Amino acid sequence: MEPSRKESDPSARPPGLLAVARERMRTRHLALRTEQAYLQWMRRYIAFHDRRHPRRLGAPEVEQFLTHLAVRRKVSAATQNQALQALLFLYRQVLEIELPWLNNVTRAGSAKRLPVVLTREEVRALLAQLQGAPWLIANLLYGGGLRLMEALRLRVKDLAVERGELIVRDGKGGKDRATMIPAVLETPLRAHLSRLRSWYEEERRRGQPGVSMPAALARKYPHGGTQWGWQYLFPSATLCRDPYAGVPVRHHLHEKAVQRAVQGAVRKAGLTQPASCQTLRHCFATHLLEDGYDIRTVQELLGHADLKTTMVYTHVMAKGVAGVRSPLDRDHGPPRGSSSVPGRGV
C-alpha cells in the first residue's frame, strides 16, 4: 500500500514547535539576535527535561530550569532573565498557555560593578595602535558614545558630516537617537566615504548582490539594497545568506574583527585594565562629565532610558561627583615630628 501524499510530502507535515516559535517571533518583528537567543533557551529547556514536550510541562518545571541556571550554572541575573523571557514567549505566544506567577525561582545574583574607564592618555595610546576600519570604528565609539553594533550597523544615509551629526537607527530598546561626529573625524570620514563610493560603483558594475535590509523595508524597497544611501558604512568583505529571504547579501563587518583588533591594541599599548570596545563608550560618558557637561545631555547622547544608568559614571570620574578631597591630602607632608620611616613613630 502506497503512503498517502500527506504522509510522503514533507511540506504537508505540520511545522515543529521551534519552527512555529520562529514564525511567531518574526511576525512580531523581534531582532534576529533575540530570535536566535530565544530558540537556544527553548532547546535547552526541552533538553533539560529529557526532551519532553513543553505542553506536558508547566510552572514547576520552568522554576526548576531557571533555578538550575542560577545555582548550578552560575549565570548572571541578565542571562537568567533572558531565559525567563524566552520561556514566557514560548508558553504565551506559541503554546497559548498562561503560566502562573513563578514564586519559587532562585534568582541569580546581580553584581553592582563599576565600568572600566581609561584616562585620556590611555585612550590616545589605544587608538594609536589601530588602523583602517577598526581605527575609524573605535574613534566613533569614543567620539560619539556608540555601542559597537550601533557603529557597525551605520549606513551612508545615517551620516550628516556637514552638520557633524549621525543618527543611530533602532538602537537598544528599538529607539533612534542623534549623536555627534567629532570634528577631527570629518576628513577621515570623507576619505572613507570616497573609497566606499568607488568600491560600491565597482560592485554595481559587477552585478554583485546588495546589502542586507530589515525584513519590512526589504518588501517596501525591493531595490534598496543596491542604493548608495543604504550601503553599510563598514561592509563585510564577503557575502552571506540572508536569514529571512535565503538569498546572498552583503552584511556589515563582523563585530569579532573589531573586538580582536581592539584587544590587540590594548596589549600593544601596555594597558593594565581589561579594556574593550564598550570601554570606549564608558570613556566617552565619563570624560564628558569631567568636562562639565550636564548629565541629562550625556544621557540623551548615550540613549539611556533611565538617568540612574548614566549616574554610574559619576562614580568613576577623576575627582568624583562632588570633588571630595581626602583628609589625608589636606597636609602636603607628614605631621611635624613624625618619622618618615615606615613602621616608626606610630
Domain of 38? Answer: 13-94
Region of 147 on the Ramachandran plot (φ > 0 left; ψ -120 to 50 alpha; else beta): beta
Cβ burial 8-30 (10 Å sphere, 16+ → b, else e): eeeeeeeeebeeebbebbeeeeb
Q: Which of 250, 282, 287, 304 is catalytic?
A: 304
Q: Which of 157, 172, 192, 251 is catalytic?
A: 172
Adjacent-strand bridge partners of 165: 160, 180
pLDDT at 223: 86
Among 234, 237, 241, 238, smallest CA distance to 212 is for 241
124 and 86 in a single domain? The answer is: no
90 and 238 in a single domain? The answer is: no
CB 110 within 8 A of CB 77: yes
Tell me the average pLDDT across 119-131. Answer: 97
Q: Which of 22, 153, 155, 281 is catalytic?
A: 281
258 falls within a domain: yes
Q: Which of 147, 155, 250, 282 is catalytic?
A: 147
2 falls within a domain: no
Q: Which of 22, 155, 252, 287 is catalytic?
A: 252
Grouping H, G, I as helix, E, B as strand and the rest as coil, residue 159 is strand
33 and 152 in a single domain? The answer is: no
pLDDT at 331: 61
CATH code of the domain containing 30: 1.10.150.130
**Residue 4 in grid coordinates:** 498517502
333 falls within a domain: no
CATH code of the domain containing 266: 1.10.443.10
pLDDT at 326: 63
Give the confidence band of 346 by pLDDT, cuts at 50, 70, 90.
Answer: very low
339 falls within a domain: no
How many angstroms separate the CA atoms of 151 and 140, rounded? 7
331 falls within a domain: no
276 falls within a domain: yes
39 and 147 in a single domain? The answer is: no
In 208-312, which ranges are E strands? 235-241, 248-252
How many angstroms separate the CA atoms of 53 and 182, rounded? 54
Give the confidence band of 238 by pLDDT, cuts at 50, 70, 90.
Answer: very high
Single residue among 94, 129, 152 that ends a domain in this structure = 94
Single residue among 59, 94, 129 that ends a domain in this structure = 94
pLDDT at 202: 97
Catalytic status, residue 6:
no
Q: How confident is the model over 176-219, as pLDDT tens digits?
A: 999 999 999 999 999 999 999 999 999 999 999 999 988 677 77
Give the confidence band of 252 by pLDDT, cuts at 50, 70, 90.
Answer: very high
Catalytic status, residue 53:
no
| Torsion angle in degrees (nearest 10) through CA of 167, 168, 170, 176 | -60
Catalytic status, residue 304:
yes
99 falls within a domain: no
Q: How confident is the model over 16-71, as pLDDT tens digits?
A: 999 999 999 988 888 889 999 999 999 999 999 999 999 999 999 999 999 999 99
| Residue showing cell 549623536 | 179
Q: Say yes or no to pLDDT of 155 above 90.
A: yes
Average pLDDT, the chain: 88
172 and 27 in a single domain? The answer is: no
**Centroid of chain to Cα 214:** 17
201 and 68 in a single domain? The answer is: no
213 and 309 in a single domain? The answer is: yes
341 falls within a domain: no
Give the confidence band of 114 by pLDDT, cuts at 50, 70, 90.
Answer: confident
Number of domains forming the structure of the chain: 2
Among 90, 35, 94, smallest CA distance to 62 is for 90
Q: How confident is the model over 293-325, as pLDDT tens digits?
A: 999 999 999 999 999 989 999 888 876 545 566
Which residues are within 8 A (CB) of 224 and not within 5 positions of it... i.e. 6 or more apart? 210, 213, 217, 218, 230
203 and 307 in a single domain? The answer is: yes
257 and 299 in a single domain? The answer is: yes
Among 258, 247, 241, smallest CA distance to 153 is for 258
Q: 62 — phi, psi (to 5°)? A: -65, -45
